Amino acid sequence: MKQGYLSQYFKSIAAKVLSRVEIDITKSNQHEINGTAPLKRIFGPNKRRFSAQFLYLSDNDDEPVKSDGFLTWYDAREQHPTRTEYRMYFPTTFVSNCASEGDMLFIALKPDDSVLVIIAECNSTIANQLSWLFGINKGYPGFSIREELESEQDRIAFVSRIILEEIGIEIEDRSETYLEEMLCKFNYNFPSTKNFSDYARNTLRNIQYDNIDDMLVGWIEREEILFRTLEKYLIAERLSNGFHGNNFTDDFVKYSLTVQNRRKSRAGYSLENHIEELLKMNNIRYDRNKKTENNSKPDFIFPSIEEYHNPSFNASYLTMLGVKSTCKDRWRQILSEAGKIKHKHLLTLEPAISQNQTEEMKFNSVQLVIPKNILNTYSIEQQKNIWTVENFLNFVTNKQNIINCF
């Protein structure tokens, strides 16, 4: 186990594309997977039963389908003197009922010898992301196996953390150095998202970045670490006080939901806050969250909402930027925003969006904008049609320069 690498959370990974016989109980003996030699390397020669958590993930649902259960690894010909036939048995669960032929199966053995079983929808973004994270070749016909997980490829960086949290793995990444300062500055409470974004950037004021894209990711990453540090302390304080009275269960559930909702909303606003700072640094005119048609509020309009609503202003000089920390299917929300702007831009931190989704974006005149250090999660073909953050800033700067010449 090596701190800061996938081996901290997983001993080994096995992955394959599911066949019909493996998920259709009318075509198989319950749910069984043939135990290939690579699987035997992971699970050993003896019969074993593993506690397991099962997840089904698709691009259509924000939350995974979850089930708890077990896996049984055994030799179906244990009594035969010369032959072996290993199999992996898993029971019918809500997760297995979601599975279809062509879905990706990931079997991850954890350090405590429990197993995380993930089924990701065929050709989905999350299947792409997990294949990239675990270094799996999706075109391989049988099981792809990864062991040790301590190469440079397995180092946990910004993008890895995003994907790991999708499957319920929370990275313990704290910055206790700033805890006392934050508690004093924010009076033992959570500040507004804007104030916290400003504070996070200020802690990096002496850092030099190679490019704008690295700067943006550096700001976001620092804010995330500082937020989790402050959150851990404040939650521990609240829990130590307990929940009392007749409605203590409801109060606890309400508090838990507050924590979850704060995390989700803060992530989106954090990205917008840091984009806004980049726009200010580059002297780019914009308006944020101003109404266009049907009360929709695009994240950013360039050069301003006044020009947008001015019927005499040439619409070809208008630009819209939607900002989503993660998107999946939610990118379509921007299609109904800023109707005067036909070609829209979408900036996201989502890694490895599926080919189907990026093709659909292109068809709907949506230009995808991705920080440069996330681009390597996309195929070479996809990268040809993706802009970096610096590309986008140059684009709106050039438009602004033309407008200033009017």
Interval 143-167: pLDDT, tens: 888 998 998 889 888 889 889 988 9
More confident residue, 101 or 37: 101
Confidence of residue 29 (pLDDT cuts 50, 70, 90): very low
More confident residue, 249 or 161: 161
First to last CA, the chain: 62
Q: How far apart are CA 64 and CA 80, in angstroms?
A: 41
Catalytic residue, candidates 5, 74, 308, 378: 308
Q: What is the torsion angle, in degrees rounded to the nearest 10, for the CA atoms of residue 363, residue 367, residue 373 and residue 375? A: 20
Confidence of residue 174 (pLDDT cuts 50, 70, 90): low
Task: Tell me the domains of the chain and their CATH numbers.
Answer: 6-166 (2.40.330), 176-281 (3.40.91.80), 287-404 (3.40.91.80)
More confident residue, 52 or 33: 52
Neighbours of 257 (CB within 10 A): 10
- Output the pTM of the full model: 0.87
Residue written as token pair 């030699």: 37
Neighbours of 338 (CB within 10 A): 26
Query: What is the rounded average pLDDT for all residues in the chain?
Result: 90
Task: Of 144-158, 178-192, 199-213, 348-362, give the lowest mean pLDDT range.
Answer: 144-158
Local structure of residue 165 (DSSP, 8 states): H
Is residue 308 annotated as part of the catalytic site, yes or no? yes
| Contacts of 298 by beta carbon, 8 Å cutoff, 6+ apart | 289, 290, 292, 320, 321, 322, 334, 337, 338
Q: How far apart are CA 160 and CA 220, in angstroms?
A: 14
Task: Quote the pLDDT of residue 87.
Answer: 87
Segments in 171-330 forming alpha helices (H): 179-185, 193-202, 212-241, 248-281, 305-309
The answer to whether the peptide bond before residue 303 is cis (omega within 30 degrees of 0) is yes
pLDDT over 70 percentage in the chain: 97
